[in-house]
Amino acid sequence: MSVLPGGLRVCVESVPQYGRGLAAVALTVAAGGDDDPAGRHGTAHLVEHLMFPRSGGGSADPTGEGYAALVAGAGGVCNAETHRDHTVFHTTVPAESLPDALAWEARRLLGFAPTEDVIRTETDVIGEEIRGAGDAGRSWESALGALYPGSRDSFGTAAELAGITAGEVEAFFRAHYTARRMVLSVVGDVDPAGVMAVVRAVFAGVGVIRVAGEAGAAEGIRAAGEARAAEEARTAREIRTAPLPSGRPGVAVGHPLPDPVADRPAYLAQAVLAQVLGRSRLPALARSARDGHRLTSATVTCGYHGQWLASAAPDLTLAVLGRAPGTEVDAAVGIWRSVLRAVAEGPLPEAEHRRAVNSLLVAWHRQADSLPTRAVALGRDALLLPGSAGPDALPAELRRTTPAEVAAAARALLEGPATVTELAPQARTVPTARAHTVLTARAGTELAPQARTVPIARAGTELAPQKGTVG
């Protein structure tokens, strides 16, 4: 890890055993949905889109190709995701093209100046993404908003974006895309000294604050978000949120997670608990009757839409339970709590605990040689999870998790606050013009075909960033 004079943190990892002639670049920025200005929900998502100009031109790009075309021309792929608390851009290219890719990355940061026409085009694209998102993630966003008022989803609101101007977009970019709020990570078949020489040359002016007060404003926004995240519920309570339309009857129960920085062992115990519940306890229960009531399905996700260790606090565990006809919401919640009590009262059988930990380790090892996954993980650790020992330390941390800690994690869910959201089959009453209220996992811009990662319905198995929606 190095820090450039302007404050940009740069992490370079040489892993030729994974790289095989490739290199991945990730730019992680402390700007997400929570940072959207009042009345302009979706600004962070829009900036993410605008970081992929459709055309270039000028002496730096005489062919007029945009960023994605340049990457594709080098035989690479690129992608981006907007989250609640950050945005990440990642690109994979042949190692021989890495100097060019770094130069292109710096150029789009230095040359960010979208026109009104481009902004209108991209807001229309975002509107289509929102309308096409369906119900995915809505219960997650509902739970987060109830437990932490003020938290925003990453997609945005089409109506608020409709009137956004180039000046507003550039002001957001200048305030948030500053060197001290960004981490550049490079992973692969690379020479760290050579990479740093290129980075120092092409990123020298990136993220420089050019307007007085911008740094203070940006840090004030982030500080306010962190203060809100640190505000925990004082007493155990159940928060009932408005019902959500769903294809099948169900109920979603949300619980706050421990801080992954301040209380990492407890956080990892929650990840293991999600595996125990989602892979053994709940599926078995869904196939059997209990007091005359039945669950037709049950999934548990730990972390931001199933991506654990992908966000700073606040974060959630979310259980989504399918209800058979005649099973009321309270009965389904009671079944969920009875399963938690059974784990809390323990002790958890050693074999069951080991299977849960092993399933997380298998998921980690399956993705350990993914260059963009490693690059993104290093950037997130540096930006969101300071003090983390890095992705390669995670297996040992998971193995140290004990059955007693998993039992304590279940007790924490029982004793802490929770949200309950009924999922009810009904005709959608929200008119098309207000389709922006449909929330989903997160915003994303996919510029090239990439393999999809593990679906979030598989509780706790997601270690890598899921790819965003087609932008």
> Per-residue pLDDT tens for 53-73?
765 443 344 445 789 999 999
226's enclosing H/E stretch is: helix 214-230
Structure-block tokens of residue 359:
């399933």
Distance (Å, rounded) from C-alpha 328 to C-alpha 237? 20
Distance (Å, rounded) from C-alpha 376 to C-alpha 27? 8
Residue 290 banded pLDDT, cuts 50, 70, 90:
low
Tens digits of per-residue pLDDT, 185-195?
999 999 999 99
Tell the residue number behind the tokens 């959201």, with chain if given.
421
Q: Is 275 helix (H, G, I), strand (E, B) or coil?
A: helix
DSSP character for 349?
Answer: P
Q: Across the strands, what pairs with 182? A: 29
Does the pTM surpass 0.85? The reply is no
Tens digits of per-residue pLDDT, 101-132?
999 999 999 999 999 999 999 999 998 888 77
Helix 43-50 × helix 116-132 angle, to 10° = 120
**Model pLDDT, residue 369:** 76
The 10 Å Cβ neighbour count of residue 8 is: 23
For residue 201, report the phi and psi dihedrals to the nearest 5 degrees: -75, -45
On whether the CB atoms of residues 414 and 256 are closer than 8 A, the answer is: no
Average pLDDT, stretch 279-308?
A: 78
Asked, as a colleague might, if the bond just before 347 is cis with ω within 30 of 0, I would say yes
How does the average pLDDT of the chain come out, rounded? 82
Q: Spell out the residues 6+ positions from residue 335 whose beta carbon is closer than 8 angstroms to its own.
A: 285, 290, 293, 295, 321
At residue 286, does pLDDT exceed 70? Answer: no
Average pLDDT, stretch 338-359?
A: 93
Average pLDDT, stretch 335-340?
A: 93
